Chain A
C-alpha cells in the first residue's frame, strides 16, 4: 500500500500562486487605489464615501484586535485606548503644524505622522502587554479595560502639552481633513496582508500555540511572553494608525469617543466574525459599520439592538460567522494518496 510517489512539501503548494507574483499584485492594487480615490472624491456622494472610509477604519481595528484576542487568545478590552493614543498623536501634531507649514501637506509627512501615531500606540501596547506575563483570562480583560479607561481619563484632563494643544474635556477640533479613500484602504491592505502573512507562516504559528496551550508552547521552545507582547505591540500599532485616520476624517476628537463602549464595539466585530479568523473580522467590520447606517431611523435603539445581537450570537453561534477558519481555505488542502 505504498504511495505512488513519496509525498513532498512541494505537493502541498502545487496550486499556490508564487509569492513574488502576489507581491507585484499587491503593489498594483495599492497603486490603483489612488485614481479610484480621486474619482470617488469627485463623483461619489460624500456621505457614501464617508461610510466607506469608516468601514476601512473599522476593518483595521477589527483585524488588529483579532490578532490579540482571536489568534493569540489574550482577551483585551482596551483597544480603544490604543486607537485614542494614535488619534491624539496625529490630531495634535497635524493641527499644530498646519498653521506653521503653508501650502499642502506632503504625502510623506502624512505617512510619517500616521506611522508615528501607530508607534505611540504600540509603545502603550508594550506597556500593556508586559503584565500579561502574570495575568490571563478574566483578569487580563479587566486589566486591559482599566488601561483603556486610564488613557481616556488622562486625555480628558490634559489641555495642552507644552506648546501643543490637546483639548482636554473640550476635545480637539479643526484637525485638517486629510484622510481619503486611498490612504484608508492602502492601510487596510497593509494591515490585512502584514497580519495574515505573519500569522500564517512559520514565524506566526507560535501565536496560535500560545492560544491553544501555553504550557505546551513553552515546552516546545516558544517564549510565550515575547509572543503575547508582540501581539499587543502589532495590534496596538494598527489601532493607532486607525486612530490617526479617524481623527483626520472627522476633524474632531473627544476623549469620550474612546471609552469602554468603543472597545466593546470592536470586540463584537471580532467575535461576530469569528475569533481567530481574519476574513471573519473583515466581514464583520463591514457588516457592523454598514448596518447601523441602514438603521439610522432607529438611532435610539441602535445600541439596544447591538446588545441583543451580541447576546443572541453568543447563545446561538458563539464561534461567530467563520469560526476560526479563513474564507480562502479550501476543504482539503492536500490529497496525499492514502498510505
Chain B
C-alpha cells in the first residue's frame, strides 16, 4: 500500500472541470514531480489533497485512510505538510516563531500549565526551541532568528516556508514551486537542500515545478498535467521523450 494514493480525482468549478481522472501514488521516501503548463491544475490538485478544496469525484487516501474533503488542519495533523506558490509566511512573526508554530500539534501541556508556567511546559518549550534551532541550522537561517519573516530576502523566505512545513513532522512534504523566482545558484542549493531533507527527515516529497532541469535531475518519477488531465507519467527520461508532453509545452510542430 502506497503512503499516498489518489484515485480518479476530479473537481469542477461551475462549468469548468479543472481536474479530471487524476491518479497518483507516492511511496515512503520517494521524490516525485508534478509538472505541466500554466493553468494545468497542478496547484488545484495540491489544494484538493491538502483539504482546501473538496473534490467532486474520486478519493485521496493517506496510509489507506480516506482524507478527501477533510479540513486542511486535519490533513496536516494526519501527516501532510505543504508550501504555497505565493509564499505564505507569518510575516509579522519572527523566523523562529514561524518554525515554532509548526510544532503546535506536539504540545502536550495544557492551558493551566501555560498560565502557571509549569515545569512540564518549560521543558517542552525548550525542547521545541532546540528542535527549531536545529531545523533552522539545516536551512541556514540561524542568523535571522529574531527578525520578522517579511524582512527576509526571497530565497531565505522560501527556505523558511519549507522549514516551517517540516516542523509539523509530516510524512509527506508537498512543495508548490519552491524554486520560483530563484537564480541558478539558489536553485542548485535548493536542489541539494531537498535531497538532504529527504535523507534526514525520511519524508516523501511531491514537487510542483516549472524549472525542467531541476525536476528532471532530482525527481524519481514525474506526472504531467495539461488542462486538468494526466497526459504522461513515468521516469524523467520517459516523460522527456513523450511527444504529447512536448506538444503541451511547445505546441504542435509545424508541418
**Which A residues have a C-beta under 8 Å from some C-beta of B?**
7-10, 12-13, 19-20, 22-23, 193-194, 197-198, 201-206, 208-209, 211-213, 215-224, 324, 332-334, 336, 338-339
How many residue pairs link A and B with beta carbons under 8 A? The number is: 134
Chain B residues whose C-beta falls within 8 Å of the C-beta of A324 in the assembled complex: 92
Asked if B253 is at the interface of the complex by the 8 Å CB criterion, the answer is no
Determine whether B142 belongs to the interface, using a CB cutoff of 8 Å to chain A: yes
Which residue of chain A lies nearest to B127 when distances are taken between CB atoms in the complex? Answer: A9
Q: Are B143 and A202 in contact (CB under 8 A)?
A: no
B101: chain A residues within 8 A (beta carbon):
205-206, 208-209, 217, 220, 222
The binding surface of chain A is classed by DSSP as: helix
Chain B positions within 8 Å of A9 at CB level: 126-127, 129-130, 133
The chain B residue sitting closest to A6, CB to CB, is B137
Is B223 interfacial (CB 8 A cutoff)? no
Smallest Cβ-Cβ distance to B100: which chain A residue: A205
The answer to the question of B71 belonging to the interface, with a C-beta cut-off of 8 Å to chain A, is yes
Taking A221-B102, A336-B145 as given, write out 6 further A-B residue pairs in contact, using a Cβ cutoff of 8 Å, ordered by the A residue number. A8-B130, A194-B115, A203-B109, A208-B90, A215-B72, A219-B81
A206 to chain B minimum Cβ distance, whole angstroms, is 6
Given A219-B50, A324-B92, A339-B143; A202-B133 close (CB under 8 Å): no
A201 & B121 in contact (Cβ 8 Å cutoff): yes
Write 10 A-B pairs (CB below 8 A) sorted by A numbering: A193-B115, A201-B114, A202-B103, A202-B121, A212-B91, A220-B76, A220-B81, A220-B104, A222-B104, A334-B145
Question: Chain B residues with Cβ under 8 A from A220's Cβ?
Answer: 73, 76, 81, 101-102, 104, 164-165, 167-168
Q: Which residues of A contact B50 (CB under 8 A)?
A: 219
Contact yes or no, A202 B111, CB < 8 A: no
Neighbouring A residues of B130 by C-beta, 8 Å: 8-9
Distance, CA A9 to CA B133, complexed state (A): 7
Residues of B within 8 A of A209 (CB): 90, 93, 101, 104
Which A residues are in CB contact (< 8 Å) with B194?
none
Q: How far is the CA of A329 from the CA of B51 in the complex (A)?
A: 38
- Asked if A19 meets B117 with Cβ closer than 8 Å, knowing A205-B101, A222-B73, the reply is yes
* Residues on the B chain within 8 Å of A218, using CB: 51, 71-73, 76
Q: Which residues of A contact B129 (CB under 8 A)?
A: 9, 12
- When A9-B130, A23-B116, A205-B104 are in contact, do A221 and B168 touch as well, CB less than 8 Å? yes
B88's contact among A22, A216, A332, A334, by CB below 8 Å, is which?
A216
Chain A residue nearest in CB terms to B132: A9
**B118 / chain A contacts, CB cutoff of 8 Å:** 19
Per the bound structure, the CA–CA distance linking A20 and B122 in Å amounts to 11
Contact B117 A197 (CB under 8 A): yes
Question: Would you call A7 and B90 a contact (CB within 8 A)?
Answer: no
Expressed in whole angstroms, the Cα–Cα distance for A143 and B81 within the complex equals: 34
Separation of A329 and B72 alpha carbons in the complex (Å) = 34
Which one of A20, A204, A211 lies within 8 Å of B114 (CB-CB)?
A204
Least Cβ–Cβ distance between B107 and chain A, in angstroms: 5
Contact B125 A201 (CB under 8 A): yes
In the bound complex, do residue A198 and residue B114 qualify as a contact, i.e. CB atoms below 8 Å apart?
A: yes
Chain A residue nearest in CB terms to B167 = A220
Any chain A CB within 8 A of the CB of B53? no
Contacts A198-B111, A222-B101; is A334 near B168 (CB within 8 Å)? Answer: no
Does B59 have its Cβ within 8 Å of any Cβ on chain A? no
From residue A18, how far is it (CB to closest CB) to chain B in Å?
9
Distance in angstroms between the alpha carbons of A58 and B168 in the assembled complex: 39
- A193: chain B residues at CB < 8 Å are 115
Lowest 5 CB-CB distances: which A-B pairs, in order?
Answer: A19-B117, A9-B129, A216-B88, A221-B76, A212-B90
Taking the closest CB of chain A, its distance from the CB of B33, in whole angstroms, is: 21
Kindly identify, within residues 74 to 96 of chain B, every residue whose CB is under 8 Å from any CB belonging to chain A.
Answer: 76-77, 81-82, 84, 88-93
Contact call A8/B133, Cβ cutoff below 8 A? yes
Task: Kindly report which residue of chain B lies nearest to residue A230, judged by CB atoms.
Answer: B111
CB-based contact A334/B146 at 8 Å? yes
B97 within 8 A of A: yes
Q: Is B115 a contact of A198 with CB atoms below 8 Å? A: yes
Cα(A291)–Cα(B56), bound, Å: 60
CA distance A215 to B133 in the complex (A): 25
Indicate whether B52 reaches chain A with its CB closer than 8 angstroms: yes
- Specify which chain B residues have a CB less than 8 angstroms from the CB of A334 in the assembled complex: 145-146
